[in-house]
Each structure stands twice: as C-alpha cells, then as structure tokens.
Amino acid sequence: MFDIARIPAFKDNYIWLLRKDTAAAVVDPGDAAPVLEALRREGLALVSILITHHHQDHQGGIDGLLAHSPSVKVFGPAEESITGMSNPLRGGERIRLAPLDLELQVMAVPGHTRGHLAYYGEGRLFCGDALFGGGCGRLFEGTPRAMHESLARLAALPDDTEVYCAHEYTEANLRFALAVEPGNRALRRRADEVAVLRAKGMATVPSTLAVEKATNPFLRCKEAEVAAAARARGAAENDPVAAFAALREWKDSF
C-alpha cells in the first residue's frame, strides 16, 4: 500500500504526494517549489506526475519538476493542453506506476473542463475539481448533464473510497448544502465537525464517498428535500439533471 501526503499550495490547493519506499508521484502540482521541498525532505525520487485538468493551479509546476527530473512521466487528459505531457489519456485506461507498485483506473469526468480525468486505485480517488468535500466544480467547459453523469460515475465507486479532491472548500460548500437541505441530520453533524477542524487549522480532506453521498447535495438530486429546493429554483419535477443544473447555478451566486 502506498502512503499519501498532503502538500498545501496557494490559498487553498492540495497537491497529493503518493509515495512508496523512495519512489513518489504527485497529483496536480500547480507549484513546483513545495513539491521539490517535500521530495528533498523525505529523500524521494519523483517518477510520475498525474494531472486531472489543464487549469494552471493544477499543472503550473510541471516545468519546474521536469527541470529537476527530466525522465518523469506526465499523465494527463489528451483533450487538453498540458505542459510536458508524455502520456495522454482519455479515460478507460489502466496505468501502472511500477516503482510504487500501483495500478490506477483512469476515469473521464468532464464537466468542470472538457477533458477532466480522475484516478482511482486501492480505495483512493484523486478527483481534482470534479468532486469536492460537500460540493462539485463549476461548469467552466461542460454541461450540467455531463457533470451530473460524471459525478454518478464517481458515486458508483465503493462507499469506503477515500476522496482526495484538490481544494479546501468543504466548510463553504457545507454552508450551501445546509441551505439546500436543512433537514439532513448527517449534514448538520458534518458541518459541525468541519467547523471544529477548520477552527484548528486542520484539513477536511479526504472524506469518503459514503460521507459525500449522505451530505453532498450534488450527489443527492433525487432526495426529496434536495429536489424540492431545486424546483423552487426553477427545476422541472422528476428531472435530476435539471435539479443538478438549478443547484449548480444557485451555488455559483451563493
């Protein structure tokens, strides 16, 4: 089993460092400097970079990492422009990071961007900006239907899957979730727990898919209270895609 370390970057990004023995891979290195410092401190050799999508805060550190380790493989979405990408992917592939003895399933999850990918293996999901703690990514390039279907694919993974998203957005997302579904007791408990963690400066990521399915409104569009809230924002009845679209539009201005 590989270990995972959290590398904070920018205001609220998380770069994920995967390591086994002296080998390491990183997910969405928007900044090279903190990654290089972690590699130096831990005595690790970088072998792979995994990119979920093209936004600069997810790929901006690739040049600096390749300058330090030119032979590193860079995996990323074939449909997007990724600096230094050597291994383009479209979803459906399985990739093996041999030095880490790790196989990952590549999942196409368009919506936030056109070619957005997620990586799943050994019960861990690295989902970039597709799924967040208590929320989901904005629809910069995709449609509500595409994002709804992408989230459904992620939600179909085992409930005990650990969700490693790329931003510390959980507290703000749960404030919105409570506006959508105030009667959800599990959501209220989670919001209280997250508030305590954030008051102590602690991370709220990873969560699990079980937690997300119980508290994340974007995975709960068929639930009665969530559907009613979406209808109040103009969504058609018995249409989970329309409910998702209404919730996402509401969240954008919340």
pLDDT at position 206 is 98
Is the predicted pLDDT of residue 49 greater than 80, yes or no? yes
Identify the pLDDT of residue 202. Answer: 97
Over residues 27-46, the pLDDT tens digits come to: 999 999 999 999 999 999 99
Active site residues: 53, 55, 57-58, 112, 129, 167
Q: List the strands of the sheet with 124-128, edge to edge.
A: 94-97, 102-108, 117-121, 124-128, 162-165, 207-208
Each residue's pLDDT tens digit, 190-227: 999 999 999 999 999 999 999 999 999 999 999 999 99
Q: What is the pLDDT of residue 2?
A: 86
Pick 3-252's CATH classification: 2.130.10.10, 3.20.20.450, 2.60.40.1190, 3.60.15.10. 3.60.15.10
**Between the CA atoms of 208, 124, 56 and 142, what dihedral angle is there, to the nearest 10 degrees?**
-70
**Does residue 104 register a pLDDT over 80?**
yes
Mean pLDDT, the chain, whole residue set: 97
Instruction: Evaluate whether 112 touches 140 at the Cβ level (below 8 Å).
Output: yes
Asked whether the predicted pLDDT for residue 1 surpasses 80, the reply is: no
Instruction: Give residue for tokens 């508030």.
Output: 195
pTM of the predicted model as reported, rounded to 2 decimal places = 0.96
